[in-house]
Structure 1
Amino acid sequence: MAIFTMILRKMINNKWLELSLLFGLIISVALTSSMPIYTNAILQRLLIQELQQLQAGFGQYPGIYWLSAHLPAEDKEKSVKLAKSDAFFQTMGGRFGIPEQYYVRERATQRYNVTPAEPDKVDTTRQRSADITAIDGLEQHIRLVDGRLPAKEPVNGVYEALVVPEALTELGMVLDTVFVIRDESNQTEVRIKPVGVLDRSDYSDVFWYNIPSSYKNSFIIDYGLFEKDFTAGDKLQLQSSYWYWALDYTKMTLPTINTFIAAHFQIDKHMDELYENHNYNAPALKTLGAYYVKEANLKIMLWSLNVPVVLMLGFYLYMVANLITERQKTEIAVLRSRGASRLQIIMGYAVEGLVLGIVAFFVGPYAGMYLTKMLGASSGFLEFVQRAKLDVSLNREAFLYALIAVGSSLVMTLIPVLLATKMTIVGHKQQSARQKKSSFWHTYYIDVIVIGIALYGLYNYKSRIKDLLSLGLKSGDLRVDPLLFLIPALFILGMGLLVLRLYPWMMRLIYSSGRRWWSPSMYFTLLQVSRSSTQYQYIMVFLIITIATGLFSASATRTINKNTTDKIRYAAGADITMQIRWENDAPPAILTGLLSEEGDESAEDDAEAATPHKTQYTEPSFLPFTQLPGVEHAAKVFIRKDASFAKGKTQDTVELMGIETKDFGQTAWLRSGLLDHHFYDYLNLIAAKPSSVLISRSMAEDYGVKTGDTITVGWSGVEGAQFTVYGIIDYWPSWNPNPGANDTVTVTSKAGTTTKVKKPMLIVGHLSYIQNNLALEPYEVWLKLQEGAGSQAVYKAVSDHGYEIESLRDAKQEQIKAIKDPFQMAINGVMTLGFLISVFICFFGFLLYWILSLRARTLQFGILRAMGISFFQLLVILIGEQVLISGAAIGIGVMTGGIASQLFVPLFEMSFDPKTQVPPFKVTFDPHDQVRLYWIVTVMIAVALMILAHIVSRIRIHQAVKLGED
């Protein structure tokens, strides 16, 4: 206890250093524990969203878990097996890990021929077949359309049943008609009578796995009666049994995924043991199975994104621990000289670190929760939006990560102590009198090694990109390789350390170049910085990594986000594109393709019928689209993907686009720089002549078509028209010039048969000319929305005008969905969070280092004042030191960040499939990102300098030099 008390007193004596160390530990634990918290939170949001999309897209309730078992006629143990299954499944509902809404059992007999017992009431010539079905708990979920509920026991030997409305038509019957079902295998006869017609009481009720119309060949009787007479009594052959759970999927969490899957395996094992032929349907299982891979990928991504911050924290913890050790080196040396072992000294500091670690362990995870909420609100680098908060919660894994972080941090803080315990008091005094050696990373050329690793990674990735583009390989979906963030971080660290290796020589060069002209204050500043450069390396590394990482993060995030949104906007063509249904005289689809049944005499009529029907369309009014709320511009865009063109004897398929040049230019979106001239110049080029067209470069190169040529364009069933080529384009809104996976063509020549890639081709012409000379067919409506306008108001207005939307693409909604992708959110959030943490760490490290440095140099300042240096000159010395150290570090950081961005940001092209990334990948630098970054760093430095100036003004320098002082 006495030793513990001594340690606490020592910590109180160094309270500012200890608090700084505690701050670093808490941030380290918070950052580390935020990784599993964020992973769980974002995957939880994604899980519910995907399950909701499953319900919206496929109309299936995601909480379904449905089982079926086929019961063969020769199986004599049906009732025993069913009893075992019922007992087993009765307890399974609580094992899925989410609330059970309904547990439903259903039984059905074989389908038998049904004959009327009263031939005078119904048509006896009609063939009828039906089964007898029972559904447990049915009565609470139906309403009677007609008739009454059946009795729960046979009435005069007749079973009463419910039927669905479709059964009346399918079986050709009316209520209260008795039918007979005969089983020839066991010579039994069952008389059954429909007494009521049912329908669902609530169409949103998840009790119903099948829609009622699926029971159109079924008599539905009381479940208890069925179990007694058919399951146990064996009056008819029991053919199938069904079990169905409706589970509340909205309560599903990531921990319950394992529970749900484990319950599935238990059920599957049970079914395998009892039934040879069984099946299941659980829509959520496929979604849940993919989450293990997503979770692993997201964790790797988070770790790689946080590498620069982890490096910063490591430097910070080591620096503070080193400062604490430096102040206590004399005490450590004295203890060693008086017989204390190295282990005893290290254990004392370990206990001290353990006290701080325990505090960080309990505080850090809660701080990590707040960091996670910040991640969820980020939509770009240093950009935050109002978004639904992430559902964050502490879990076991977060505290495990926190424990690992505390342990690793304690090891980091004990390294300076371990090195200090090597020396006795004599060695300590000798080292204090000598000039410091070079740092560890410079001694062992860590900077050169790290840069070498980063440049090798750069070369490797560039080779892979070259292969992707030259061979047409696929890079897969947008899943950014984590190493693309790790390698630049290593490069930034290595470059920063390499420049610091050269920094003392630069100071000496500056000192030598103006040695004759430097003022005393400047002379002292240069001498102090050049001789003590190793003391400032920690704070310079902080600033370099902070600035460089911020610049790289801003460029990388902006590039990834911009290319993702550009891809969506280009593919859509405009903010909203929709196809409106046009009134037409096309025959119903069910009648097309029918063949004549007449024979040879009707061959001529068949040929006539086989002639394609030319559909006549009625164009709806376009004016309302230009007046929709929130719509800035609207355009008509006709697209025919199966058009054809002819030039001489050459003919091929081409995509034809018809536009109105002015409206199209005001509505469509195209990134600048994709064409040789501005987008509008091409529209102006063809605006004057109705028959003029633009063609794709692929068409010009493959078929030798050039400007001024005349081509014939048409499509099946339409006579072609003449067009004149006015221009050649490489890209056009919504058109993908890249060949797809199956876009190949076989070419036969004297050398043999070869297969080559067939590039898509495009012709852009005037809509009015196409309609007048080819045909009037439905066109798409492209809309450009006003700034801040919402899509829902547009949809509602379109519906209110009576238009029926057949297809729709909303680029803004797709962009929002892309931003909410967990990997996209990880990049945006973690890079922003990492930079802000770096800034705070840098701020406290900067402040702490200079405060301690100023206090340690109070005697030096006193001597300078005694030698005649004025207070103003003293301030000039301090400002000069800040410029040469902090200013130089910021300059090096800007240079390093710029080089890293130019070298490594282009590598992200590998994460985008070149065939689908249209427009092509482009590295983006936004000056606003850099301005925000510089403002944050400037404010940090300014606040720190004001605090330092205040401290300097309160130092009583005139009392520093006293008679008898050393």
Structure 2
Amino acid sequence: MTSFVSLLRIVAQRSLANWRLLATVIFGMVLASALMSSVILYSDAVRDLGLSFTLRQQDPLELDLKVVSNSQPGEPDIYRERRDTTFSLLGRYGGGIIEDTGLYARTSTFFLAEPGVPIDYDDDLRARAHFLFFSDVEDHVTLVEGVAPTPAPPTTDVFQRPSIEVWMSATAARGLGVGPGETFDLQPFWREDVDPVEITIVGLVEPNDPGEEYWFGNAHRLVVDTTRWPTFPFIIDERTFVEVIAPYLPSIDGTFETFAFIDTERVNSRNAERYERNLRALDRAIRAELELSVLRTELPDVIFEYQEKLFFTRLPLFALMLLIVGIALYYLVLVATMLVERQAGEIALLKSRGAGLGQIMTVYLVEGSALTIFAVVLGPLVAAGVIRLLGPTPPFADLSQGELLQVTLTAEAFGMAALGAVLALVALLWPAYRASGASVVHYKQSLARPPKQPLFLRYYLDLVLVGVGAFLFYQLRQRGSLVTENLFGDLSADPLLLVSPALFTLMIALVFLRLFPVVLRVASWALRGLSGATILLGLWRMVRSPLHYSRLILLLLLATSVGMFAAGFRATLDRSFEDRAAYEAGAPGRIVDIRTPSRLSPERMEEFFESMDGLGEASAAARMEVSYVPTAARSVSAQLLGVGENFADVAFWRNDFGGDLPSLLANLQPGEDADLPDGAVVPADSRALGIWTRISLPGNAARPGIRVRDGNGLLYEYLFVSDPVEEDDGWLLYVVDLTRPFNPRNSPPDLTGELEVESVFLSVRRFAAAPGRVTAVLDNLVAYPEGGDRDDAVTIEPFESLDRYQSITGASGSAQTTITRAEVDNDRGRYAAQVSFNYDSFSVTAVGLRLRRSPEPLPVLASESFLEATGVAPGDTFPLRVNRQVLTARVAGSFELFPGYYPGGRDHLLVADLPTLRGAGAGIPRVAGGITPNEVWLGSVEGVELTPEWLEEQGIRAGQVHDQAALFALESSDPLVAASWEGILFLSFGAVLLLTALGFIVFSYLAAQTRSLEFAILRTMGFSGRQIVGVVGFEQLFVIVAGVAAGTALGFPLGRLMIGALALTEDGSDVVPPLLSQVSWETVLSVYGLLALVFIATVAALARLYSRLALHRALRIGEL
């Protein structure tokens, strides 16, 4: 006991003697513990904030619990048992988060009649009624008219019909024309043999707040106005149902719902997983114990998605904090080494007096253990306090409402703090262990000689660590992620890959240590011609003792690399949020699946949207489903997007998607082809068209048709379905009204302008006729003006020449249609158009002639996934089913990514020129209709919120709306993916900068004290004070420049490594589009500026120290 007290006395005396230096050690140990505990505390705080944010984003009704029991018996005993079982299950599995419960029931249907009037069962529109009850409904409604119902006596005689007073919704009563005081008979539809229930309306009510959570979305059930017959919902209470109605009608059934209102404030990160499991177990229990019952709630799925998001967002935090803790431990090694070097003489003296290794290490162990306990206790408190202060900062202000963050100290946090403190203790004991092996002789020698290289450098063990780091770096590059997938498909974090960024940093640092002496010797050789002694003396000192300076340079290197990483990663995340929102939206605004307005040309569609306030340049597009069909047994589905000429002006694009977008789109333009003909012109103000035909099929098997195009490029199809109006020697004249197109119906073209004849065809239908080769002859196509008769007909196409036409062969091409001139020599002309085709009585198709088109295949841009799935290569042609017809397409280019397109196993995209697609994709009448825009890409959205509601106000109905600004706001508002990185980067970089500044100052100050004899001798040799300061300033400047330069060179590849490994979304999928490394040069300059301030302060402090140096005292110290 006496020896232990003596040991404590020695420890206390030594600690007091070196309290200034020991304070820096305490600071490092506390910081290491705080950093380790902050991994838990910070992630828990952000986790709670993120969970709260996630729950706030949901509709509260979707999170509440709703047990629905359909078609359940209403018999009192069965009802009570079911109700009690439901409440019991809810309390057992969710009692901790349920703040209130409620009931709702709707009974079976009754037929309603005036008192004493029998039910007319033959009337399908006879009035119906049913009973509703809500628990405690009187507290949530306002009595508009009438009084509260008088409770009916319990039913004791099943042969005596009950008489019940009820409430009714005032809105429903007004709609049905009833009011207080009216009495009705309700006959149960399933029991015609019992007397009807008598009800009297005594009051009309309205919900206090129909959107109140109490109603659970059921307030609308107070009014039923969607049926063809009158429906009366009568409001009763639970007691009336159980004690009055159900005993009288034991066979009554209904739908019974039990609500449990969730207090989301009670759901936190520590119990969320437990409640997710409980609610899933509750669902299973309800299905097992309650017949025809189910639990409806989104809460378990919301928690599960949140937990998944949490897993992927915490990985970067762990990887970064491991790197920061590594720097903190190195700082401890650096400061502990300086502390032990200062005590080296004392240790050597103890050794010479007989102290053994164990005794010396015991002193340091007791001292370190006391510091460890202090760090374990104080570290989490410091971390919690700093994290709480992040609440009012800009990244968290909106999420925390400007309040301090809520931080909960947990056992895990203290465990991590203990781990950090133990690692710090090891870092403290290691230099003491090395120094305890030196005798007095060795100590005296070390004063006159530079320190030797460590063992791991002398025997090249550092190269082993470099190899390990390189291997993990290679593994991380190959896998591309810190996440691994096990045999069962579960995702987990690989611990070795988590430390790979820290090992990569260590690898580069070791390489630098190996090269630093070489760099010094090269610099000394290059500057040997300088006349002054200041720089040469500084270089000579560093060349002679490179290990001494490499310690400090290594600290600066690590700090600067983290600073560069922080500068790059924050900027990269900001850019990624913007790019992800822009990529999903495709443009500042994108409206997909437009249903109203419809059938507009691209130009008219663009003009329509550009005329709206707040919307900029518009680019119309058409999106449709297509398929690659090399054979009948194989197909690959894809989406085809037709884009206009100005698409590149509005769409979001990066060249890493697939090259230069304008160049890609230029490949879609058709080649120069001036031979494409114009069609026959239907004069303006025409009212009807007629055509002479002679067809070798019955009239029911084939009907002539015509397709015309208006000035906007819209197609209109007409079928001559009426009987022929004239016959001439086997020729039939069919006439069709231009105001009544067959497709689109009820939407005729503008007849005040000219129309162009695009095709003349025969619509061939199934008919019991022998298959074979069929011939049809088409003669003059005539137009009839408004108000004209047969004599006013104008021939617009005599078919004397067929040079501008080509055949229509049907959707599959099996018709093998040919068109030739047939010599007819009648009064209408010499020639007519003869159409020959194979007739199949089992198929429906269209054959005929159309305006000649370019023989070139449809050029498309294909996603890489499509090329991989089909085996098609750029430049190849392939069959493509577009708009119910098969075209030949050619791959004119490819892309990896395209705005709004997310590659997947079966998700493929093709892009075509919209005008070319409109021409090629509508080649077969009756089969391939006209292609019109159904999507608009907007170049800017300003001053308006692009939402479905706003579009509805503008008369636009669309399936999807994408607003880039809204998507970016939503993406960057999630604390798990946005604010968390702001805080952790600030904390980590602040800690590293503080450690670096403190380590640099302490190291420089102690080194100056150690070299006081050296500088005193230099002064006696003629060196001035300015020259001494110049030597020290040059050394410090060289150290800072070398450390900062190496750290900058390391920080950028470290950032790219981390960015590549952490490029995962919140659900674990790859970030689309990929992250692009960015650098915030403002942050870089701030790092440099802070280090410059540290340098200036250190040199100023050293200058003051040397100015007070007493030569005689330093020289006498050197003689000891």
TM score, norm. by length of structure 2: 0.66
- Matches of 1:914 and 1:942, distance apart in 2: 46
Cα-to-partner distance string for 1:734-786 (whole Å, 9 max, x where unaligned): 364x864225xxxxxxxxxxxxxxx5321124599989999684554443448
Partner residue, 1:783: 938
Amino acid at match of 1:541: L
What is residue 23 of structure 1 aligned with on the other side? 27
> Which residue, out of 49, 53, 78, partners 1:49?
53
* CA distance, structure 1, for counterparts of residue 305 and residue 353 of structure 2: 63
Deviations 1:130-154 (A, max 9, x none): 7655432112223457765432124
C-alpha deviation, 1:359, in angstroms = 5.1
Equivalents in 2 of 1:197, 1:528: separation in Å?
99
Number of the residue aligned with 2:910: 761
Q: 1:342 to 1:270 in 2, by over 3 A?
A: farther
Matches within 5 A, 1:113-262: 118-120=115-117, 123-126=120-123, 134-143=133-142, 149-154=148-153, 157-162=162-167, 176-181=183-188, 191-193=197-199, 195=201, 199-214=206-221, 220-229=235-244, 235=250, 242-250=257-265, 252-257=267-272, 260-261=275-276
Q: Which position in structure 2 is the counterpart of 1:524?
A: 537
Could you tell me how far apart the structure 2 residues matched to 1:862 and 1:463 are?
58
Specify whether residues 165 and 881 from structure 1 end up closer, same or farther in structure 2 by C-alpha distance, changes over 3 A only: same
2:970 maps to 1:817: yes
Report the CA distance between 1:202 and its aligned residue: 1.0
Question: Does 519-528 or 73-82 show the bigger shift?
Answer: 73-82
Q: Provide the secondary structure at the position in 2 that maps to 1:960.
A: helix
1:456 pairs with 2:471: yes
- Equivalent position SS for 1:641: strand
1:436–1:534 Cα contact (<8 Å) kept: yes
Residue 306 of structure 1, CA deviation:
1.4
Amino acid at match of 1:29: S
Aligned pairs for 1:883-922 within 5 A: 883-898=1037-1052, 900=1054, 922=1076
Match in the other structure for 1:746: none
- Secondary structure of 2:270's counterpart equals helix
| C-alpha RMSD of matched pairs (Å) | 5.5
Partner of 2:841: none
Asked whether the 8 Å contact 1:543–1:886 carries over to 2, the reply is yes
Cα distance between partner residues in 1 of 2:663 and 2:904 = 29
Give the secondary structure class of the aligned counterpart of 1:853: helix
1:459-858 maps to which residues of 2 (within 5 A)? Answer: 459-464=474-479, 486-508=499-521, 510-511=523-524, 520-556=533-569, 558-559=571-572, 562-563=575-576, 565-578=578-591, 622=607, 625=610, 628-629=613-614, 633-642=616-625, 655-659=640-644, 661=646, 664-672=647-655, 679=662, 695-696=860-861, 715=883, 730=895, 734=899, 736=901, 740-742=904-906, 760-765=909-914, 777=932, 779-785=934-940, 792=945, 807-821=960-974, 822-823=976-977, 825-827=979-981, 829-858=983-1012
Cα deviation for residue 357 of structure 1 reads 4.5
Q: Give the superposition deviation at 1:877.
A: 1.9
Alpha carbons of structure 1 residues 963 and 545: separation in structure 2 relative to 1, 3 Å: closer
Task: Classify the secondary structure of the residue corresponding to 1:881.
Answer: helix
Q: Does the 8 A contact of 1:376 with 1:825 survive in 2?
A: no
In the TM superposition, what is the alpha-carbon distance from 1:572 to its structure 2 partner?
2.4
Cα offset, 1:569, TM superposition? 1.9
Whichever structure has more strand as a proportion of its residues is: 2
3-state DSSP class of the match of 2:58? helix
Distance 1:410 1:461, change over 3 A: closer
Residue 696 of structure 1: how far off its partner (Å): 1.7
* Bigger mean CA deviation after superposition, 162-171 or 667-676: 162-171
SS at match of 1:807: strand
CA deviation after TM superposition for structure 1 residue 901, in Å: 5.6
Structure 1 position 416, deviation (Å): 2.9
Greater displacement, 30-39 / 392-401: 392-401
Residue 861 of structure 1, CA deviation:
0.3
Give the percent of matched residue pairs that are identical in Structure 1 and Structure 2: 21
Residues 804-846 of structure 1 show CA distances to partners (whole Å, capped at 9, x for unaligned) of: 6653212233234333452455555434543332222111111
CA distance in 2, matches of 1:116, 1:616: 58
Which residue type is aligned with residue 39 of structure 2? M
* 2:298 matched residue in structure 1: 283
Structure 2 vs 1, CA of residues 418 and 298 (structure 1 numbering), >3 Å: closer, same or farther?
farther
Q: Which amino acid aligns with 1:96?
A: G
The aligned amino acid for 1:885 is V
The Cα shift of 1:853 comes to: 0.4
Instruction: Letter of the 1:151 partner, please give it.
Output: T
Q: Which aligned pairs between 1:933-948 and structure 2 lie closer than 5 A?
A: 933-948=1087-1102
Whether the aligned pair in 1 keeps the contact of 2:554 and 2:1043 (CA below 8 Å) is yes
Q: Does 1:394 find its partner at 2:408?
A: yes
CA distance in 1, matches of 2:563, 2:88: 58
Q: Which of 197-206 and 252-261 deviates more?
A: 252-261
- The answer to whether the 8 A contact 1:639-1:780 is kept is yes
For residues 921 and 257 of structure 2, what CA distance do their matches in structure 1 show?
Answer: 61
Query: Equivalent residue for 1:755?
Result: none
CA shift at 1:679, angstroms?
A: 3.1
The residue that corresponds to 1:595 in the other structure is none
State the one-letter code of the partner of 2:102: V
SS of the equivalent of 1:178 reads strand
Q: Decide whether aligned partners of structure 1 residues 557 and 958 sit closer, same or farther in structure 2, where only a CA change above 3 A counts.
A: same
Q: Could you say which residue in structure 2 is the equivalent of 1:36?
A: 40
Deviation string for 1:155-187 (max 9, x for gaps)?
A: 9831333456899899999952022449879x9
Deviation at 1:438, TM superposition (A): 1.8
> Comparing both structures, which one devotes a greater share of its residues to helix?
1
Instruction: Tell me the secondary structure at the aligned position of residue 640 of structure 2.
Output: strand
Per-residue deviation, 1:694: 7.1
Q: Give the deviation of 1:84 after TM superposition.
A: 5.2
* Native 8 Å contact 1:136 1:223 kept in 2: yes
Whether the 8 Å contact between 2:626 and 2:883 is mirrored in structure 1 is: yes
- Decide whether aligned partners of structure 1 residues 251 and 515 sit closer, same or farther in structure 2, where only a CA change above 3 A counts: same
The CA distance in 1 between the partners of 2:920 and 2:396, in whole Å, is: 46
Higher mean Cα deviation, 633-642 or 369-378? 369-378
Name the CA shift for 1:793/1:125 in 2 (closer, same or farther; >3 Å). closer
C-alpha change, 1:726 and 1:928, in structure 2 (3 Å) is farther
Deviation per CA, 1:648-676, whole angstroms, max 9, x where unpaired? xx999872434353xx4543332246565
Spell out, residue by residue over 1:53-94, the C-alpha distance to the aligned partner (whole angstroms, 9 max, x if none): 332xxxx61441223568976999647745854885797799
Q: Secondary structure of 1:207's match? A: helix
Cα separation, 2, equivalents of 1:399 and 1:69: 48
Query: How far does the alpha carbon of each residue in 1:274-302 deviate from its partner, in whole angstroms, 9 at most, with x for none?
Result: 64664322321222234445445544432
Aligned match of 2:808: none
Task: Indicate yes or no: 2:79 matched with 1:66.
Answer: no
| 1:132/1:845 CA distance change after superposition, 3 Å | same
The answer to whether the 8 A contact 1:37-1:392 is kept is no
How does the TM-score come out when normalised to structure 1? 0.76
Query: Conserved in 2, the CA contact under 8 Å of 1:484 and 1:907?
Result: no
**Is the partner of 1:61 in helix, strand or coil?**
helix
8 Å CA contact 1:740, 1:915 repeated in 2: no
Matched, 1:867 2:990: no
CA distance in 2, matches of 1:74, 1:963: 103
